[in-house]
Amino acid sequence: MATATKIDRRTEIRQTARKMFKERGYAATSMRDLAREVGIEAASLYNHLSSKEELLHEMCFDMAEQFFQAFSVAVADEKSPAKKLRAAIKAHIHVIASNLDGSTVFFHEWIFLQDPELARFKKLRSQYEQGFRDIVQKGVADKDFKEVNVKLAVFTILSALNATYDLYKSSEKLSEEEIAESMSNLLLKGLKK
C-alpha cells in the first residue's frame, strides 16, 4: 500500500494547494498553511514535492494542456467558422467548469512563475489564442463574420470566457451548457434585436 498511500497524499496536497492558491493567491499561501490544511507538518510536504513553485508550475501547465486538448478535439468535428467557434467556446467553458480551482490559478497566479517557465507559459497562451484568431479570421474571409478587428474580437471573447469560473460560486443555478449557449449567442449575434 505504500505506493497507493503516497499517490493519495500527493494528490491530496496538490488538490488542497489548488484550492488555497485560488482562494488566497500563491504568494499569500504559505507552506505551513498548506501543511496545516492537509494535516501534516510543513517539512513533511517535501516528501511529496520538491518546491512550492513546482506546485504552481504543475497546475499552470496541466491546465494549459487541458485547454489545448479540448480545443483541438472540439474544433476538429466542425466545418464552418461559426460552428467551430461555438464548439471552441463550449470546450473552453467545459475545461473551466471541470477544473474550477485549477483554472482560477491558471488565470491569476501564472505571474509568479519564474522565467524559463514563465516565458514558455506565455508562448503557450499566445498559441492558444492564435487558434481562436484563426477561426475568426476564416469567418471574416468567408464573409460569414463581420469585418471586425480579429485580435480585439478574440480578446473580448476570451476575456469573457476566462471569467466564467466566477459564475459557479454564485447561487444562480446555471449549467455549463446554458453558459456556453448564452455566451456564444451574445458574442455571435449580439444583444440588439
Report the residue from 15, 23, 43, 123 that binds DNA according to the rule CB under 7 A: 43
Among residue numbers 45 through 84, which ones bind DNA (CB under 7 A)? 45-48, 50-53
Q: Of 2, 62, 61, 114, give the one whose Cα is nearest residue 10.
A: 2
Q: Using the rule CB under 8 A, is 141 a contact of a copy of itself? A: no
User: How is residue 74 written as a grid cell?
Assistant: 472540439
46 makes contact, choosing from DNA, a copy of itself, none, with CB < 5 to 8 Å by partner type, with DNA
32 makes contact, choosing from a copy of itself, DNA, none, with CB < 5 to 8 Å by partner type, with DNA
Question: In the bound complex, what is the minimum distance in angstroms from residue 188's beta carbon to a copy of itself?
Answer: 5
Burial tier of 123 (Cβ tally within 10 Å: 0-12, 13-18, 19+): exposed
Q: 29 near 37, Cβ under 8 Å?
A: no
Question: In the bound complex, what is the minimum distance in angstroms from residue 176's beta carbon to a copy of itself?
Answer: 13
Q: Using the rule CB under 7 A, is 152 a contact of DNA? A: no
How far lies 129's CA from each of 66, 114, 124, 133, in Å?
14, 22, 9, 6
